[in-house]
Amino acid sequence: MSDYDYDLLTIGAGSGGVRASRMAAQKGARVAVCEEDRVGGTCVLRGCVPKKLLVYASEFASEFSDAEGFGWTVPKAHMDWPKLMETKDKELTRLNGIYNNILSSNGVETILGRGTIIDDHTVEIAGKRYTAKNILIAVGGWPTMPKLPGIEHAITSNEALELPELPRRMVIVGGGYIAVEFAGIFAGLGVEVTEIIRADRLLRGFDDDLRSELEREMVKRGINVLSSTTVESITKKENHYELTLGSGEVLETDCVMYATGRKPKVAGLGLENAGVELSDKGAIKVNQNYQTNVDSIYAVGDVTDRVCLTPVALAEGQALVNHLFGDEKNADVDYENIASAVFSQPPLGTVGLTEAQAQERYGKVDVYTSGFKALKHTLTGRDERTFMKLIVEPKSDKVIGVHMMGPDAAEIMQGIGIALKCGATKAQFDATIGIHPSAAEEFVTMREKRPEE
């Protein structure tokens, strides 16, 4: 019998923590997971799921408008925000129940409360101490806001998902994927949206063509994008807020949302008690097997600030279990060619390298692009373009980057991601018969390289 209460004690019941705990228990380990909030984590409770539900809700306005071109007469619609919040919360409660059942049905003990590390084998939860042979930290990340006068009047994406009522005007500060997605959501729901970014363009780190194309489409949808702009202060007035910009201009709004970054949620974990090392960005440092500098303490997911995506946390949780309790002692996750999406409006899908990254790694690359109006909009009259891009390494003919903006981009890019994992070449893309009529077929019919500048 082990000298410890558990073989694995997981702090944090989000995607990575639940996956690791469940799979470890299935391999016969004695497992407990502690959680100070509801089980499910950021993705289920404060991120992917509720945000995507709101994206769906916000798209109906344009669908109602587009229907006229197809012969439908749609009465004037009304958005019942409290009703949307009610149905969204009902679904989150259902998912929370499913996650609780996943843990209990696999023999994982759930302990309510925030876990604090006492030493390399001990965690204190709600005043009681538990010991474990291995401790896993999977607490995820949390929104951050800058220090400036009046910042206490701003909300983050957490609060944006639970607003009691829709504001008439809203300012979203930030140019990353969270800011872009919420700008589309609230604009689609009829809110007058201004997005403020410090950079010259949205979505730093994405392919430059994709960034430019999306900003153009967002502006068409009525979103006011203020680039190369900073906020110096926020002042609460009787019925609104005033933002003083770096230029001296004053902007009035009814709601201020900051989406300027997230950081690992390590405060109060007691990492210093065991001597767990952090990076200069405050993330937990781990090796290829997700082990910290303390042999018995591991970490997966956003708290390590590697690739902050739910499917990555799931893969890391599985890999860790294989390392600790399975036959695979070096179960690395392949971080190359991870497909991802931005649920902006229109949405983006991307996998592989951006053009700039490809040029830095390989020098000269071949680029193929296509831009067109989707067949649907030939009848709706909507001025919306779809954009696609292929990046090819000419010596091997391998496709090393694929990017898309347009309807169903996420669904299409999942399949493209498989092709890139398999090392597909441009010749193999060209030899693939397309599905007609579809936007996806454009990826296998691009023949003309973009001329070199």
Catalytically active residues are: 436
Beta strands in 204-329 (DSSP E): 224-226, 231-236, 241-245, 250-253, 256-258, 262-264, 297-299
CA angle 391, 393, 396 (to 5 degrees): 140
Tokens 């347009």 correspond to 406
* Phi, psi dihedrals of residue 15, rounded to the nearest 5°: -60, -50
Number of H helices, E strands in the chain: 13, 21
354's tokens: 């951006």
Alpha-carbon distance of 194 to 121, in angstroms, equals 49
Token duo for residue 228 = 């190369």
Task: Name the nearest CA neighbour of 329 among 293, 279, 291.
Answer: 291
Q: Give the integer Cα–Cα distance in Å for 430 and 433.
A: 8
Q: How many CA atoms lie within 13 A of 172 on its CB side?
A: 30
Are 318 and 20 in contact by the 8 Å Cβ rule? The answer is yes
- The two tokens of residue 185 are 């959501």
Beta bridge partners, 254, equal none
Q: CA–CA distance from 49 to each of 92, 93, 190, 411, 426 (Å)?
A: 8, 12, 21, 16, 35
Angle between helices 355-362 and 208-220 (to 10 degrees): 170
Distances (CA, A) of 8 to 107, 135, 159: 12, 6, 33
Spatial CB neighbours of 90, under 8 Å, sequence gap ≥ 6: none
DSSP string, 394-419: TTTTEEEEEEEESTTHHHHHHHHHHH
